[in-house]
A and B are shown apart, each in its own frame.
Chain A
Amino acid sequence: MNGGEHPCPEKGRIRLLLVDDEEGYVNVLANRLAKRRFDVTKAYSGRDALKAVRGQDFDVAILDLKMEDMDGIEVLKIFNQMGLDMEVIMLTGHGSQEAAREGLRIGAFDYLTKPCELHELIKKIHEACDKRSKGR
């Protein structure tokens, strides 16, 4: 389960944006992903995430659908409006598949139920990356 086995077609490191209002979760996940050679940027709210995408390009965003300030779906919509070249993997709580489906409908790559296994998340990230490079 090493990120390094799946090099991103574009660059050496995949640029990730991690969006979740649960700081502890974002921090530990960022640490673990960074150790697996991902370039991780943390955002603790929808607003932070929007700020981040304005300043920098990302390959993949991991977006929690349930946040205090903004709904994940709203953030996703704004991403779409900004016309970002970025795949979005959603994290949902159990039983909110409805929102996840809505997300898929408006252009997210896929979703995972939280809490998820790290190796599954990494697998999804690589799949998203593959898709992105093919789309080009």
Chain B
Amino acid sequence: MNKDKHKKYYQSLTRNMILTAIIVSFTPMLLVICILLQQFRVSYHEKTYAHLSELVQKHKQNIDSFLNEKLANIRFLAVNNSLETLNDNEFLQEKLSTLRRDYGNVFVDLGIVDEKGVQLAYAGPYGLENAEYSDADWFKKARRIDSFISDVFLGLRGYPHFIVAVKKNEAGRDFLVRATIDFMAFNSLVQNLRVGKTGYAFILNREGAFQTNPAMEYQPSHRGYEFFWTAVEKTKNKILITRWQDDVGMENLYAVGSLKDGQWLLIVKQLTADAFSDLKRMFNIAVIIFLIGGLGIVVMAFYTSRRMVRRIRRADQDKENMNEQIIETGKMASIGELAAGIAHEINNPVAIMVEEAGWIGDLLEEEEFAQGENLEEFNRALKQINTQGKRCKEITHKLLSFARKTDATLKDVQLNDIVTEIVSLSAQMAKYNKVSIETQLQKTLPYITISPSEMQQVLLNLINNALDAMEKTGGTIQVSTKISEVEAEHIVIIVEDDGPGIPEANLLRIFDPFFTTKPVGKGTGLGLSICYGIINKMGGKIDVHSTIGKGTRFRIWIPIQK
């Protein structure tokens, strides 16, 4: 249950850290990308619009000047020549040749038409002398004004063309000097205008009819083109740029300018997608950068958060363990006090029992008992009481020495002295167990400032453990001291035995309080944990290596103070 709660806590901690990292990194990145894209988009639009607008403006002027030029040519012809001169096929033919020489094949034919619509004279490839124009649309319009340019139409020949006409008044009669302009020549002015991949230009008249051949195959309806007319009129001769969805549902960009005194519209049409393809590409790049960066951020957020939470978790664990250890130490201290009290209490009755037995022994020495038939048996029993009393005494001594508060006063000591002392103390016990203790002490060890009684306790514990382990087998304990080669500025004490060794599973828990492999009542499981605590307090380290059947080696490193 508790573990579950902990797990949840760390999970939510991880989640929060990941979220925070992601939000904090994503927000500025997103902001920067969006702002830059928006800026780019605005300026790109402006550039595109300006470009289109300039293009249309230029071509509009080109076309207007083309038309005006043609009109001027015809007007020149009409003004400078009398009707009599003009009304002559040969003269007209000559003039047509001159015009064609000067302007290419733009002029197809020339003709003189009287007020009734009959063509009086004609020069051109179609032989249209005496052709009747009275019903022609262009004739009706041209009669009313001085000069006229018609829309494109198929006319009598069934071939697209348009007409430029100038009215001339002579002797009270109106005449029209007219010329046919080649559609192809005019068309090429517009058809060559291409923008990007899909942009093309065309001209519309008032009725929404094409005045040029659009470059694209498709023939849109003219729905909505009225909109252009009204819009263009509002812009007052400027170029209108707008977006419009065409019949196939594609959004297009339109640049519109008026021509021929507002009778025609020059329109450049381009697919929006094409016009802004650079923008699209830019956007795609930004998205890719964002995705890759985002992925990096997410991966890093996950990775670092996990790692940090793992560290926090370990630190928490360590803290918890330490707390446990402190609690254990406290528990141990109170057990120790209890044991000390009991030992003291038991000491006195045992002493009395032993002395009373001794007293009986004294009395038995008197003569009246000397002949007693059970004297020997009495003596044996008394000796036994004495022996068992001594045993009790040993037990209470052990209890007391365990419980005794170790003297933690620091002294400058030579470690070798302590080792020698403890080894000689243990020698008796060792002999009893058929164990020999050897020492190998480096003579030049520096003095260190530690609590000697604590150090004694540690060494005694280690040696006692080794003795217990070799109780049945016997063997050798080697205690050595030297300046450590592994840890700088440390003295290392090695207690090594050739006993049965410690199984690996136990090795991990060997320093845990109350961990013992001895039968219940034989060991407290506190010895090594106390050692561990003492060495830790000294700022040192203790570790253990063991091989089953080969032996066990404890190493203690104690720092050398300057």
A35 close to B362 (CB less than 8 A): yes
B interface, by DSSP: helix, strand, loop or mixed?
helix
B347 close to A94 (CB less than 8 A): yes
**B352 near A: Cβ within 8 Å?**
yes
**B344 near A: Cβ within 8 Å?**
yes
Q: A66 to B340, alpha carbons, bound, how many Å?
A: 14
> Considering only CB atoms, which chain A residue lies closest to B354 in the complex?
A115
**A93 near B: Cβ within 8 Å?**
yes
Annotate A40-52 by CB proximity to B: 1 below 8 A, 0 otherwise: 0000000000000
Annotate A91-125 by CB proximity to B: 1 below 8 A, 0 otherwise: 00111000000000000000000110010000000
Interface centre among A29, A35, A95 (most CB of B within 10 A): A95
Given A94-B400, A95-B340, is A32 in contact with B350 using a C-beta cutoff of 8 Å?
no
Q: Interface-forming stretch among B113-121, B218-226, B389-397?
A: B389-397
A28 close to B355 (CB less than 8 A): yes
**A24 near B: Cβ within 8 Å?**
yes
A118 close to B358 (CB less than 8 A): yes
Which listed residue (A29, A35, A115, A118) contacts B347, Cβ 8 A? Answer: A115
Taking CB atoms, residues of chain B closer than 8 Å to A85 are: none
Q: For residue B369, give the distance in angstroms from its CB to the closest CB of chain A.
A: 14
> Considering only CB atoms, which chain B residue lies closest to A116 in the complex?
B351
Q: For residue B252, give the distance in angstroms from its CB to the closest CB of chain A.
A: 105
Q: A97 to B541, alpha carbons, bound, how many Å?
A: 31
Taking CB atoms, residues of chain B closer than 8 Å to A114 are: 347-348, 351
Q: A118 to B357, alpha carbons, bound, how many Å?
A: 12
Interface centre among A31, A32, A94 (most CB of B within 10 A): A94
Taking CB atoms, residues of chain A closer than 8 Å to B404 are: 95
**A22 near B: Cβ within 8 Å?**
yes
Question: CB within 8 Å of A: which of B290-340?
Answer: 340
**B9 near A: Cβ within 8 Å?**
no
**B356 near A: Cβ within 8 Å?**
yes
Inter-chain residue pair count (beta carbon < 8 A): 50
Taking CB atoms, residues of chain B closer than 8 Å to A66 are: 344
Interface centre among B344, B355, B359 (most CB of A within 10 A): B355
Annotate A11-46 by CB proximity to B: 1 below 8 A, 0 otherwise: 000000000001011001101100100000000000
Q: For residue A52, give the distance in angstroms from its CB to the closest CB of chain B.
A: 21
A25 close to B400 (CB less than 8 A): no
Question: CB within 8 Å of A: which of B346-385?
Answer: 347-352, 354-356, 358-359, 362
> Considering only CB atoms, which chain A residue lies closest to B389 in the complex?
A115
Which listed residue (A24, A28, A32, A95) contacts B400, Cβ 8 A? Answer: A95
Taking CB atoms, residues of chain A closer than 8 Å to B401 are: 94-95
Taking CB atoms, residues of chain A closer than 8 Å to B344 are: 66, 93
Q: For residue A101, give the distance in angstroms from its CB to the closest CB of chain B.
A: 12
**B491 near A: Cβ within 8 Å?**
no
A25 close to B352 (CB less than 8 A): yes
Annotate A56-91 by CB proximity to B: 1 below 8 A, 0 otherwise: 000000000010000000000000000000000000
A25 close to B351 (CB less than 8 A): yes
Q: For residue A5, give the distance in angstroms from its CB to the closest CB of chain B.
A: 15
**B343 near A: Cβ within 8 Å?**
yes
Taking CB atoms, residues of chain A closer than 8 Å to B349 are: 24
Q: For residue A32, give the distance in angstroms from its CB to the closest CB of chain B.
A: 5
Given A35-B362, A95-B400, is A115 in contact with B340 using a C-beta cutoff of 8 Å?
no
Which listed residue (A25, A35, A115, A118) contacts B393, Cβ 8 A? Answer: A115
> Considering only CB atoms, which chain B residue lies closest to A25 in the complex?
B352
Q: A35 to B340, alpha carbons, bound, how many Å?
A: 34
Taking CB atoms, residues of chain B closer than 8 Å to A31 are: 359, 362
Q: A24 to B351, alpha carbons, bound, how many Å?
A: 9
Q: For residue B305, give the distance in angstroms from its CB to the closest CB of chain A.
A: 55
Q: For residue A33, give the distance in angstroms from its CB to the closest CB of chain B.
A: 10
> Considering only CB atoms, which chain A residue lies closest to B392 in the complex?
A115
Interface centre among A24, A28, A31, A66 (most CB of B within 10 A): A28
A32 close to B340 (CB less than 8 A): no
Given A93-B344, A95-B400, is A115 in contact with B362 using a C-beta cutoff of 8 Å?
no
Q: A95 to B355, alpha carbons, bound, how many Å?
A: 22
Annotate B52-79 by CB proximity to A: 1 below 8 A, 0 otherwise: 0000000000000000000000000000
> Considering only CB atoms, which chain B residue lies closest to A28 in the complex?
B355
Q: A115 to B362, alpha carbons, bound, how many Å?
A: 18
Q: A35 to B356, alpha carbons, bound, how many Å?
A: 13
Taking CB atoms, residues of chain A closer than 8 Å to B352 are: 22, 24-25, 28
Q: For residue A38, give the distance in angstroms from its CB to the closest CB of chain B.
A: 13
Taking CB atoms, residues of chain A closer than 8 Å to B397 are: 94
> Considering only CB atoms, which chain A residue lies closest to B407 in the complex?
A98
Given A95-B340, A115-B347, is A29 in contact with B355 using a C-beta cutoff of 8 Å?
yes
Q: For residue A8, give the distance in angstroms from its CB to the closest CB of chain B.
A: 21
Which listed residue (B347, B356, B359) contacts A93, Cβ 8 A? Answer: B347
Q: A31 to B358, alpha carbons, bound, how many Å?
A: 10
A94 close to B356 (CB less than 8 A): no
Q: A95 to B401, alpha carbons, bound, how many Å?
A: 7
Q: A94 to B350, alpha carbons, bound, how many Å?
A: 14
Taking CB atoms, residues of chain B closer than 8 Å to A93 are: 344, 347, 400
Taking CB atoms, residues of chain B closer than 8 Å to A95 are: 340, 400-401, 403-404
Which listed residue (B340, B343, B355) contacts A25, Cβ 8 A? Answer: B355
Interface centre among B351, B393, B404 (most CB of A within 10 A): B351
Residues of chain B touching chain A, judged by Cβ–Cβ distance below 8 Å, are: 340, 343-344, 347-352, 354-356, 358-359, 362, 389, 393, 396-397, 400-401, 403-404
Seed contacts A25-B352, A114-B348; 20 additional CB < 8 Å A-B pairs: A22-B348, A22-B351, A22-B352, A24-B352, A24-B356, A25-B348, A25-B351, A28-B356, A31-B359, A32-B355, A32-B358, A93-B344, A93-B347, A94-B343, A95-B401, A114-B351, A115-B347, A115-B351, A115-B354, A118-B355
17 contacts between A and B (CB under 8 A): A22-B348, A22-B351, A24-B352, A25-B348, A25-B352, A28-B355, A28-B356, A29-B355, A93-B400, A94-B347, A94-B396, A94-B401, A95-B340, A115-B347, A115-B350, A115-B389, A118-B358
Residues of chain A touching chain B, judged by Cβ–Cβ distance below 8 Å, are: 22, 24-25, 28-29, 31-32, 35, 66, 93-95, 114-115, 118
